[in-house]
Each structure stands twice: as C-alpha cells, then as structure tokens.
Amino acid sequence: MTPHRMSRRSILQGLGTAGVLTACGEPGLPATAPSQAVQSNPLGKLESTIEADRNEKWKGSPLGSLYPFIKKVQKEAPQSLAFLNIRPKDLEAWKAEARAKILELLLYRPKPCAPQAQILEKVDKGDYIREYLHFHTTPDSEVPAYFLYPKRARFPVPAVVALHDHGGFYYWGKEKLIETAHENPVLTVYRKEYYDGLSFPVTLARHGYAVIAIDMYYFGERRLILDADLQQGINTWKKEESEKTIDAINRRNGQRECWVDRNLQHVGITWGGVLCWDDIRTIDYLATRPEVDIKRVACAGLSVGGWRTNFLAGLDPRIKAACVAGWMTSFHQIVPWFVSYTIPAGNVPGLWKYMDYPDVGSLIMPGALMVVNGSRDSLFPPDGVKAAFQNLARCYETIGRPERFTTYTFDGPHKFPARAQQLMLEWFGRWV
C-alpha cells in the first residue's frame, strides 16, 4: 500500500505550510491558492480564479483593501544596490557593499566559533563513505549533518553544499536528500515525488565530490518538539513514528511556523539570518576537512533549498557555482496574487529597498549560476520567473560572461527532476 502523505498542494490550500497561506494567521483556517477556483471561505464569498481577480477592485489580492498602499511602496523602492540599476565599474567593490547590506538586514551575526565536530557514525557505501556528524555553527547551536566523500579519489576533491527543501514536511531535513538504512516508506515516497527517487548528493559523491547536507533550522533533528510530545513519547528519534503521527507533526509545525518567525524577530534576529549563518558556517566546516578543496565549492537545492542556494551563492565568495531549483522569481510579481506563497524563513526585512531576489544571486558573478524551474510549478507567477531569468541573463551579459548563466525549464510541477540533476552535474563539472 502506498503511504499516504499530504500533498504540497493540499498543504498550500489547507494549512499553508509550504506557502504559508494560513500559518501567519489562525491555525486551521482554510486557505486559497490564487490559481484555483475553490470552495467558499469563512465569510461565504466564493474566491474567483486568478484571471477574474485581475478585474476586481483590489485585484483579488489576499491583501484586499491594503493592497494599493503596499503595492505603491513596492513600486517606489529604489533598488539601489541592484547590479543593472547601478552598473558598477568595480565588480568586487559592489559585491562587498551589497553583501554587507544583506548581512546587516539579516540581523544575525554571532561570534564565530570552532566547529568542534563529532563524527558519530561512518558507513562504507562501496564507492563512497557516508559520515553522520554534529558540528557547531555557534557555541550554542549544534547542527546535525551527513558528509559524503568518494572512497577512491585523489584528494582534495571539490565539494557541494546540498540544501534540502521545505515542502511542509518538517519531520525530516537532510534525510530528504540522503537515503539511509531502513528508511521510512513515507520518506521514500516524498523523495520520489520531488527528486524522482534520486539522491543527488549520492550521485555527486559517486562522481568525485565531497557533499555535505545539514538539517535546516526547524527541520529534521532541529524541528519543533513540545513538552506534550515528551509526555506522550512521540516526535522522538528513538522510534519510527507512524505515518499518521508524522502527518500530525507536520501539520502542527506548519501552523506554528509564523509564531516561531515572530518570536525570532521579537528577540532581534531573522529566520533567514539563522539559515544563512548556518550555511556559511557549513562551508567553514568543509574548510577543516582534508578531503575538500575549499577553492572548489558549489551549492544546490530545491524550493527553500533554492532560496538558501541563492543566498549562500550571493553571500559567500567561496561558492564558485550554484544550482537553484524551484525558487527564482522577481518579488515584484508576487504582489498581489502570490504574496501569501512566501515563507517566513525567506523574509529579509528591507531587502526590496536595495535589491530583488535575482539580484542576490547575481552576487556570485563571475561564478556560474544555473536555475531550474517547472512550467507547472505554481509557487511563483510565470512572469515573475521570466523577469528573474531576464535580469540574471542581462547581468552576465553585462560583465561579458553570458556562458556562466543558464536555465533549464521542464514541463512539470515543483520538483528537481532527474534530467535537471544530470544537467547540474554537468554544470558543476564545467565550472567547479
């Protein structure tokens, strides 16, 4: 029997965990994906399709009467650090200024510390070695990770930071990408849906790369666990949970996602700042490994893993090539219809004043950037994706390196399909 798992669409419409349609409101209120003509909402009004919405007073936006004010502010933003707006003569000086501004907006820059890594398990997989380990990104933050490297190679070898997705699936993080022994069938089905059943970190390791994958904050071993869970003996790594329990945990954690985000902001930091810091510190850990050539590092990820890839590639000059899957758009097109599809973890307050999402990715230049998107991916508006592609292409053309930017679009939904993974491998082989 095929294990039941809430689909991404049902999460978007019912909980909003993957797109956070209701997570920022009261848990359990129904949500409406903007491209759907669906059931009546609690006020009894039928939502119309996205095409009909364009003719309504407030464009059918979930922002309603607040839409005109917010859109006006958005249009007036100067985008003062966007590459195409300022055409800097000194590329490195521009990157330094832009990176400093983004890091300032992320509001999270703890003091560096030694990784103090502990390797807890080492498994010989035949043609590669898989280590399970913990390392510190701050004195108080210990991050679980898998580290893969080829068994027979001339070390040091190039490395890839593999960044897992969101998917409204909080119970696992790094395991979404890396198969382990006695895997829960729910996880197997998930990987088949979003990765065509493949583990791209394993593929990379078998082709001579060292690969690391960590648990993103709020996912996997770093997910939300409550006192009540401990009392009931659930939500623990000491046993394999049932499919029903995993679904319930994912549902609850989705409902509380914005609560976590609010409290992070209340204490003066951003969720995105935590993600970026952890990912940058992951490269710091790679630098301690004798198997790794730290001058040849890439990163790749799907969905929020694509968001993390975009920011890691933009912020850390050690990244030489990147593959962003299922997360590239101009934010301009998100408002009004797709505004509710953004996630708390991806919010960088004030960023829009200085640059757009693709502008962050352009900071990798002259490093190589590949972007993957499905034509039936409903996460972002098609015109937003197109605008981002055009922005990045023009950036690379302006610096005289058009060959270092490429896109791959496929006829499919939100996923990182086998063909895109193969093209990523070839891309890294060319540029890392």
CB hemisphere CA count around 193 (13 angstroms): 19
Which of these, 283, 259, 379, 284, lies nearest to 324 by C-alpha position?
379
What pLDDT score was predicted for residue 364?
Answer: 98
Could you tell me where the DSSP H helices lie in 342-432? Answer: 351-354, 357-361, 382-398, 418-431
The larger pLDDT score, comparing residue 44 to residue 334, is at 334
Query: What's the pTM?
Result: 0.89
- Whether 17 contacts 255, CB under 8 Å: yes
Contact residues for 39 (Cβ-Cβ < 8 A; gap 6+): 30, 46
| Extents of the domains making up the chain | 118-431
Which of these, 349, 347, 305, 345, lies nearest to 323 by C-alpha position?
305
Crossing angle for the helix pair 271-286 and 91-106, nearest 10 degrees? 120
Which pLDDT band, with edges at 50, 70 and 90, does 57 fall under? confident
Alpha-carbon span 401 to 367, nearest angstrom: 9
The domain defined by 118-431 carries CATH number 2.60.40.10: no
Burial of 418 (0-12, 13-18, 19+ CB in 10 A): middle
Mean pLDDT, all residues of the chain: 88
Q: Averaged over 414-430, what is the pLDDT? A: 98
Residue in the block written with tokens 């302006």: 398
The larger pLDDT score, comparing residue 56 to residue 80, is at 80
What pLDDT score was predicted for residue 53?
Answer: 60
Which DSSP string do the residues of 38-79 spell out, in sequence order? --B-TTSPBPPPHHHHTTSTTTT-TTGGGHHHHHHHHHH---
Alpha-carbon span 368 to 319, nearest angstrom: 9
- Whether 395 contacts 402, CB under 8 Å: no
Burial of 77 (0-12, 13-18, 19+ CB in 10 A): middle
Cα–Cα separations (whole angstroms), residue 296 to 203, 210, 289: 18, 10, 13
Could you tell me where the DSSP H helices lie in 136-213? Answer: 185-195, 200-206
- Whether 181 contacts 188, CB under 8 Å: no
In this predicted model, what pLDDT tens digit does every residue of 139-167 receive, in sequence order?
Answer: 999 999 999 999 989 999 999 999 999 99
Q: Is 307 helix (H, G, I), strand (E, B) or coil?
A: helix
Alpha-carbon span 162 to 130, nearest angstrom: 14
The larger pLDDT score, comparing residue 413 to residue 13, is at 413
Q: Is the pLDDT of residue 377 over 60?
A: yes
Q: Is the pLDDT of residue 335 over 90?
A: no
Cα–Cα separations (whole angstroms), residue 339 to 21, 60, 314, 362: 9, 12, 23, 23
Q: Is the pLDDT of residue 338 over 90?
A: no
CB hemisphere CA count around 19 (13 angstroms): 27
Q: Averaged over 350-364, what is the pLDDT? A: 97
Q: Is the pLDDT of residue 108 over 50?
A: yes
Beta-bridge partner residues of 299: 161, 322
- Between the CA atoms of 65, 69, 74 and 75, what dihedral angle is there, to the nearest 10 degrees? 110
